[in-house]
Amino acid sequence: MDQTFRDIATIVAEKCVNPLTQKSITPGLVERAMKEIHYSVKPGKSAKTQALQVIKLLQEKDAIPIERAQMRLKVEAPKGAGRKIRQQLEEIINTAESESYEDCYNFTFTVDPGKYRQVDEIVSKATRNKGALEVVDVCVTETDDE
């Protein structure tokens, strides 16, 4: 049980950032917050499933400033589909990082991990499965070496 508790805290720390600083959160901080909200491990569920529940609980109870880290994705598609994809993604994405229409359409952006499936469907439909969606970075955090 103690090992699972630590595993959950580690998964939460890997998937989340402090929204004020955009820096990663330590597993120790997550463990303390889990104890503060009196979280108990459920033996029948996987650590990852429980970690996603813990993130929601920590946000609801304001135990620590926490949010899911954004994903950095890159779309590669035929030139003609570029504008259509960009329009459809406009509502979903958080920040656009780069965009080019050279040999093909390339668009790099950050998005909430929960929207990945929606982005994938948009790219597939707009390109008739000729486009590609690549995960550039699973967890975008602010680095200390600026």
pLDDT of residue 140: 84
The C-alpha angle with vertex 135 and arms to 130 and 137, in degrees rounded to 5, equals 160
**Residues ≥6 apart with Cβ < 8 Å to 83:** none
pTM of the model: 0.78
Written as tens digits, the pLDDT of the chain (146 aa) is 789 999 999 999 999 999 998 899 999 999 999 999 999 999 999 999 999 999 999 999 988 999 999 999 999 999 888 899 999 999 999 999 999 998 899 999 999 998 999 999 999 999 999 999 999 988 887 764 33
